[in-house]
Amino acid sequence: MITEAQQEIIEEFTLFDDWMDKYEHLIGLGKTLPLIDPQFKTDQYIIKGCQSKVWLRAEQQDGRVYFWADSDAIITKG
């Protein structure tokens, strides 16, 4: 089942005909995200096997899972 938020994302990206436009939009979205707290940029939170450095932190609160992430690559960051 696709949620309303997921459907909005799908519709947003269908506005772009060119894959490069989609990448540019994704990069722009990444620039608006809050930075991950530097204390979580450690080996404990790094995704192993990626070409770029990607840190991912997850936390469960009130029955939901929240994610924070950062990367040294602009596409992955988005």
Choose the catalytic residue: 50, 52, 72, 75: 50
Distance CA 54, CA 77 (A): 8
Identify the DSSP state of 47. Answer: -
Residue linked to tokens 């994704």: 26
50 has catalytic annotation? yes
Distance CA 47, CA 61 (A): 22
Catalytic residues, by residue number, are 50
